[in-house]
Amino acid sequence: MKMLVKETLLPHPQELVWASLTRGPALAQWLMPNNFPEHPLVGDKFEFRMDPVPLIGSTVKCEILELDPPYKMVWSWTGMNNRGAPQGTQRIEWTLVAKEAGTQLIMHQRDMNTLPWIMRTMMTMGWGTMLGRWLPIVLHAFIQHDGAWEYQGVQPAPNRSHHSAKTVPASYFN
């Protein structure tokens, strides 16, 4: 498998879906704890973290490669094994398309063939859960205030397994 594609139609405005992709605290709750930049720019680097898992690792190093708010964002995505060695770099592309019923969110993960088969299998299932179950919960935790979307948080986090992490810095959760 060279590329994974996941699509979902979310009954929310495009700017709100964009906010769920570009606010670190929201990303932490539906994807993984992170240090995503508060005001993202092309070239910014950030990490996703979780407790170490055998064969998987604990850190994903990313860089913002493209940014066209609120339509498209592209990241490099390099998983690091538990010894700190890279497991292959992928390209994550987020595309948002406004629809009458809300926003079509399309995620492409390119270069999946650089990953071990177990990782490809886990990511195929994991993205489906995150985009289909956890992201919709997080989207409902935003409120609009003075024309901007503010994230209120969800307790407990939908992605509970990563939120019980013991080795992740506290700053990656908020």
Give the DSSP per-residue string, 89-135: EEEEEEEEEEETTEEEEEEEEE-GGGS-HHHHHHHHHHHHHIIIIIH
How many other C-beta atoms can be found within 10 angstroms of the C-beta atom of residue 149?
20
Residue 98 has pLDDT above 70, yes or no: yes
Structure tokens at 72: 């498209």
With bands split at pLDDT 50, 70 and 90, how would you rate the model's confidence at 144? Answer: very high
The residue-averaged pLDDT of 39-57 equals 88
Alpha-carbon distance 97 to 93, whole Å?
Answer: 13
Residue type, 65: L
CATH number at residue 94: 3.30.530.20
Question: What per-residue confidence (pLDDT) applies to 4?
Answer: 94
102 part of a folded domain:
yes
68 part of a folded domain:
yes
Q: Does residue 142 contact residue 136 with C-beta atoms inside 8 Å?
A: no
Residue 74 has pLDDT above 70, yes or no: yes
pTM comes to: 0.92
Rank 30-34, 64-68, 156-160 by mean pLDDT and report only the highest.
Answer: 64-68
119 part of a folded domain:
yes
How many separate domains does the chain show? 1
174 part of a folded domain:
no
What range defines the domain where residue 84 resides? 3-169
70 part of a folded domain:
yes
Alpha-carbon distance 61 to 131, whole Å?
Answer: 20
Question: What per-residue confidence (pLDDT) applies to 26?
Answer: 96
61 part of a folded domain:
yes
List the one residue out of 72, 18, 74 whose CA is nearest residue 43.
Answer: 74
Alpha carbon separation from 114 to 1, 47, 126, 162 (Å, rounded): 9, 19, 18, 24
